[in-house]
Amino acid sequence: MTEITSTGHYGSLLGDKATALGLRRRRNAERRLKAYGITAILLAGLALFALLGSVIWQAAGAVTEAYVTLPVELKADDIDPDATGDPKIILRGDFNGLTKDALKAAFPQVTGRSARRELYDVVSSGAAFELADHVAENPSLVGQTINFRFLASDITDLYLKGSFGALRPLPTAGRLTVALDGDEATLNSTEADFAGVLAVLKDQLVDDAKRLRVRAARQNNAVSVYETRIAEAADDDARAKSLAALERARTERDALLAEAERLEARAADTGAEDLDDEVRSVFVRAGGGWLKLTRLDASGAAAEVLAPPAGALADLAEWQLLTTDLPAAARKVSDTQIMVIEELRSGSAVDSVFNWRFFTAGDSREPELAGIWGATVGSFWTMLVTFLLAFPVGVAAAIYLEEFAPRNRFTDFIEININNLAAVPSIIFGLLGLAVVIGFFGVPRSAPLAGGMVMALMTLPTIIIAARATIAAVPPSIREAALGVGASQVQTTFHHVLPLAMPGILTGTIIGMARALGETAPLIMIGMVAFIVDIPTGITDSATVLPVQVYRWSDFPERAFEARTGAAICVLMIFLVLMNAVAIVLRRRFERRW
Amino acid sequence: MTAVLLAFVLVAAMAAFVIAQHRAQVVVGGDTAALHSRPSYHGFYSFLWVVLVGLGLVIVLTAVPNRAIDAMLMGRIAEALPDQPRIAHELVLSDAKALAAGTVASKTGDLRLAIAADFSRAAALWNWVRVIGVIGGVLAAAFLTHRAVTPERRARNRTERIVRVLLAAMATIAILTTIGIVLSLIFETLNFFGKIDWQIWKFLFGTTWSPLSGVQSGQLDADKVGAIPLFAGTLMITLIAMLVAVPIGLFAAIYLSDFASKRVRSVVKPMLEILAGIPTVVYGFFAAITVAPFLRGSGEAIGLSVASESALVAGIVMGIMIIPFISSLSDDVINAVPQSLRDGSYGLGATRAETIRQVILPAALPGIVSASLLGFSRAVGETMIVVMAAGQGANLTANPFEAVTTVTVQIVMLITGDTEAETAAGPAFTLGFTLFCVTLLMNVIAQRIVRRYREMYD
Amino acid sequence: MTEIKFSARDVNVHYGDNHALKDVNVEIEDKTVTAFIGPSGCGKSTFLRCLNRMNDTIDICRVTGEITLDGEDIYHREVDPVQLRAKVGMVFQKPNPFPKSVYDNVAYGPRIHGLARTRADLDVIVEKSLRRGAIWDEVKDRLHEPGTGLSGGQQQRLCIARAIATEPEVLLMDEPCSALDPIATSQIEDLIDELRKNYSVVIVTHSMQQAARVSQRTAFFHLGHLVEFGETDQIFSTPHDPRTESYISGRIG
């Protein structure tokens, strides 16, 4: 290195740079700004990831559907007493009754009205219709007993997918003796197996109590916050407000504490434990029977017989002690249903297949029967109307504004209008549709025609703006060349400019249509939110569309609809991705840069 | 029937094209050079007239009689049932139409059957009028344009004039849409204000919103149409959304335009575009199913009670939705700041951060402000996220953890609710009109700022 | 003999695949005006931008060789270009005042570099710089109006004042008069002559007359090569290289 000639304020480049100019501080400021930027991008990415992830996670639950295979006797009396073999008569048969008979026959041990109802709910209410269709197609089956695959209900399906937790075995060491007395049973084991169960249940109670105490502690915090606020309150009004809040927090805290104490007392009590809805169910499976424990102490247990074992059981070495993850109050599937489903499962009568039904069925109130084909077709008709209206009108308007319009206040006004329409909230277009398309023109409500007209008005500004941009990008030399050989302005436009601009116009149109495909609010306004089972066959049938279907399903209380909502979103997004991919391909392959 | 008529018009128009084109060749004995316009223009001229006349007649002759018949039948029903409200009359009419069509009616009876018979008769009569009118009009148009084919005729110029007029007509549809929006909104708004005895201030400044409770004979209670809770809810959610979207969008834009390498840009830009392309109903589902439980859980963990439908959830998710909007607009304006300004700053020994903060951001500020305004107007008008995640009860609160309602939610509730359309439409359209005015104002301001900004650097 | 400020050895610059500068060796003296002349695209501006590493802001640009300022390699890994640019100021072809007031334009550099402790200090620096930029009299009454509102010549002098305000050791000027009318040009040229007392000035220019008027030393660039470098008088009267002679007599350019 040569000698350093330190000059001016700025020091030498390699010598005292650290101190010069506060450079370290300034570089740190730069690093901070950069970090903010990276954080912002990461946050946006995280949001996208969480959104797509949660949708796909939900959708995974709708990938398969479960079936239950049962023997069903197709009694001629119930179906076709006169042996006509006519499908129309067969379809009128009492297949609902036959389905119930099949379930009853498979589980004779389930008695009592509510238990029976739970049993029937194991298969879907739509299964009987499928049985009817199957028999109508094969009239020769009448009078026979066949093995039929019944569609499982949403509850069964969710249980099989583990949505209500699993059935977990507890260790058994001793030998079991069961004394049966009608619906009741008394159980004893040679080892302390039931004491172990008792310990597990008590632990759960202690855990629950702990959770309640944590919540009570939070309320207690709130109480002290409000107390200080009251002490510092400036006026009576604020004090009264805080007082009310304080009272609420106190009551809540005391209720939680009382509940926690009750649970703790229950846990501390070393005596017998009554098993109710609040604790996890415990089953004993032995000798082909199912017993549900109702009362438990260290030495033995009392139980309710769900399915009687084959005869009395004494000194049995092979037996299972099972417990659920959730108490009965916290799950949709009942103890009886668990027993039924587990029995069917061990009899290999349950199978799961890919859920094709979801892609071919219309809407339904039963989640296991609901599909999106109806909404997909509805979307297709709506988009067809949108395209047929918006594309020609949009292109024509763009051509006029770009090629023919004189520059005057009127065309300026049109331009301002178009720009503003592009930013009008979509729900306003819904109101417009309600008032004008339905109210004034009398187009039927809920019809793709009405939806398509509203969407066309909404998409029009997008198409016009995109089309104008591409038309304006066609260089004037091409127009001059055409005009120079004697073509009229209209000929120039339609023979030369428009074909050159077409790929760009199509790209813009597809992007506008993709946005319309995902639009929900205006269609809700014009009544496309109705419950429609049938697949629409034309533009004047009542219909719904994919995004509205998503909205409807997301509003239903059944848990199985959450999965279907997720799956419907995936289908919608696949269509959007496809449309955008087409737009990108069009742009890459045909669009020219002038 | 309408479809058949439309098909007829199309076929007739094509026939007119062929015939006129042929005649053009015949009148000059095959020497087409003697024609002023090429034969196809004579054909096209004929085609256009037939289509225009045919379509016009189909529309007019379908719309007019429908209204005329309805008016006539409504008059008769009103005579028969003088003391029942209009809605009951409409029900009778729709039942009668259903009976005439042979489908299921809600009720039947002498009056309905009589009206149904009248309807069938009138409809059949008008149907003939329509068919004959359309066929006659189409044939007349074809005949007149056919007869006018002569060698001197400037068919091309005439055709082009029609094409120009058609193109201009299409361009005015944008204006018609705006007029349609304004008229339909204003009509119902005035209607609504009439029902509350023109106490407009009670709508704008009242604090109790439950317009449909205790509604009798269409008269609304002016004390229950105070929209302040809705305005406050909308504002709160929008502000939360902007608090999320503006910093994230702006910092992302700054990073992308001045720091990021090409590779990072090529990954992040499409990512933001995907975020922009996701339908709002999906955001709504995300808010309701993922964000709301997450926030409630996190709130519980630190001792806050977050309602399952809250302003915070809706605001955050709406903010996520608006991020790409803010970032892409800001990216545009930041890139529009000329390189010479950056050079000037770097040339003085400024760091990138200093250049951005003190030169680029101030220069791009108008653009960023207008991007934020546009984002704000988007958020104010956004519907699905708030419908699915914000709640429906109109309570006036400043606590973002509680459920609030918004203007758009109330419009949806009113329109899709069970109340008869006529009563619910008033408040709904008035809210719509308010929304329209607010978003329009913001868009106009934003566009003006952007225009001035462009002029500065172009 | 004045002291050497910049010394370049075997400098090569590539823009992507384009070899823009080839083996440039030059020494630039302190308190001297050095002019770079040559036809468009010859690399003179590129070389100028190497001297304060403005090329760093262009992704595809690659510089090899060695350039030293006061004996220190400015492309050394540890050199902060920000510090370098504070020492080596630059004035651009097109006047580029920031969209701020005249005062804030000039104060920008001192502020970011922390040259003024108080507002009064800053006022002094701004006035001194504007005076040295020969524009004080024209703007002293409108210090708080936007700098973009000045005329082209005023804007450029404002930019020069802005560059001076950071108190650099070298001032680079990239065709500072190309966007100005003849009167504004002569004002700037007078100013450059003034600046020579305190700074080393490097000016890129299109106009040979301008180079002859303002500079003491001249470098002639052609197709990326430094063809000839020497006393301005000598270059314009008795060039050694035939290419220089052709350019000066107007046969190439």
DSSP A101-159: HHHHHH-TT--SHHHHHHHHTTB-TTHHHHHHHHHHH-GGGTTSEEEEEEEBPHHHHHH
**Nearest CB neighbour to B340, from listed C52, C92, C100:** C92
C70:A4 CB<8 A:
yes
Is the pLDDT at B109 greater than 90? The verdict is no
Is the pLDDT at A4 greater than 50? The verdict is no
C85:B346 CB<8 A:
yes
Q: Is any Cβ of chain B less than 8 angstroms from the Cβ of A547?
A: yes
Among chain B residues, the shortest Cα distance to A439 is held by B184
C249 or A35, higher pLDDT:
A35
Other beta carbons within 10 Å of C114: 12
Among chain C residues, the shortest Cα distance to B360 is held by C98
C167:A9 CB<8 A:
yes
Is the pLDDT at A1 greater than 50? The verdict is no
CA distance C245 to chain B (A): 34
Chain B residues inside the 8 Å CB shell of A62: none
Interface of A with C in 5-24 (CB under 8 A): 5, 7-14, 17, 20-23
- Residue pairs spanning A and C at CB distance below 8 A: 61
ipTM metric: 0.89
pLDDT digits (tens, 9 = 90+) for B250-292: 999 999 998 998 899 999 999 999 999 999 999 999 999 999 9
Q: How far is CA A86 from CA A95, A130, A137, A152, A442, in A?
A: 16, 17, 10, 28, 43
A524:B447 CB<8 A:
no
Q: Which pTM does this prediction carry?
A: 0.87
Chain C residues inside the 8 Å CB shell of A14: 72-73, 76, 78-79
pLDDT of residue A6: 39
**Nearest CB neighbour to B347, from listed C54, C59, C83:** C54
pLDDT of residue B184: 92
CA distance C166 to chain B (A): 7
Chain B residues inside the 8 Å CB shell of C94: 340
Chain C residues inside the 8 Å CB shell of A13: 69, 72, 74, 76, 79-80, 83-84, 87
Q: What is the mean pLDDT of residues B4-13?
A: 91
A426:B303 CB<8 A:
no
Is the pLDDT at A386 greater than 50? The verdict is yes
Question: What distance in Å separates the CA atoms of residue A52 and residue A570, rounded to the nearest whole number?
Answer: 9
DSSP string, A489-548: HHHHIIIIIHHHHHHHHHHHHHHHHHHHHT--HHHHHTTTTS---SPP-STTS----HHH
CA distance C111 to chain A (A): 11
In chain A, % of residues over pLDDT 70: 96
Mean model confidence pLDDT for chain B: 88
- Please tell me which chains touch A, using 3 or more CB pairs under 8 Å as the contact test: B, C
C99:B349 CB<8 A:
no
Mean model confidence pLDDT for chain C: 89
CA distance B391 to chain A (A): 13
pLDDT digits (tens, 9 = 90+) for A514-564: 999 999 999 999 988 888 888 898 888 889 999 999 999 998 988 899 999
Chain C residues inside the 8 Å CB shell of A23: 80, 82-83
Question: What distance in Å separates the CA atoms of residue A547 and residue A372, rounded to the nearest whole number?
Answer: 11
Chain B residues inside the 8 Å CB shell of A547: 279, 281
The pLDDT confidence band at residue A17, using thresholds 50, 70 and 90, is low
Looking at this protein, which amino acid is placed at residue A188?
Answer: N
Chain A residues inside the 8 Å CB shell of B357: 33
Question: What distance in Å separates the CA atoms of residue B432 and residue B351, rounded to the nearest whole number?
Answer: 49
Is the pLDDT at A316 greater than 90? The verdict is no
Mutate to test the interface with B, among C111, C112, C164 (most CBs of B within 10 A): C112
In chain A, % of residues over pLDDT 90: 40
The pLDDT confidence band at residue C25, using thresholds 50, 70 and 90, is very high
Chain A residues inside the 8 Å CB shell of C72: 1-2, 4, 12-14
Residues in chain C: 253
pLDDT of residue B376: 94
Q: Is any Cβ of chain B less than 8 angstroms from the Cβ of A488?
A: yes
pLDDT of residue A5: 39
Interface of A with B in 9-28 (CB under 8 A): 21, 26-27
A58 or A78, higher pLDDT:
A58
A436 or B222, higher pLDDT:
A436
**Nearest CB neighbour to C83, from listed A3, A5, A17:** A17
Q: How far is CA C123 from CA A9, C103, C126, in A?
A: 18, 9, 5
pLDDT of residue A19: 54
Interface of C with B in 170-189 (CB under 8 A): 172
Question: What distance in Å separates the CA atoms of residue B312 and residue B296, rounded to the nearest whole number?
Answer: 10
C83:A13 CB<8 A:
yes
Give the burial string for A89-128 (b: 16+ CB within 10 Å, else e). bbeebebbebbbbbbeebbebbeeeebbebbebbbbbbbb
Q: What are phi and psi of B98, to 5 degrees?
A: -65, -40
**Nearest CB neighbour to C115, from listed A9, A11, A17:** A9
In chain C, % of residues over pLDDT 70: 98
pLDDT of residue B208: 86
Interface of B with C in 294-353 (CB under 8 A): 338, 340-351
Chain A residues inside the 8 Å CB shell of C79: 13-14, 17
A17:C78 CB<8 A:
yes
Chain C residues inside the 8 Å CB shell of A20: 83
Q: Is any Cβ of chain C less than 8 angstroms from the Cβ of A139?
A: no
DSSP string, B84-146: S-HHHHHHHHHHHHHHHHTS--S---HHHHHHHHHHHHHHHHHHHHHHHHHHHHHHHHHHHHH
B348:C87 CB<8 A:
no
Is the pLDDT at C88 greater than 80? The verdict is yes
pLDDT of residue A242: 77
Is the pLDDT at B213 greater than 50? The verdict is yes
Question: What distance in Å separates the CA atoms of residue B1 and residue A269, rounded to the nearest whole number?
Answer: 82
Mutate to test the interface with C, among A9, A25, A26 (most CBs of C within 10 A): A9
Chain B residues inside the 8 Å CB shell of A539: none
CA distance A36 to chain C (A): 21
Q: What is the mean pLDDT of residues A127-134?
A: 90
Mutate to test the interface with A, among B6, B244, B251 (most CBs of A within 10 A): B251
A396:B274 CB<8 A:
no
Is the pLDDT at C232 greater than 90? The verdict is yes
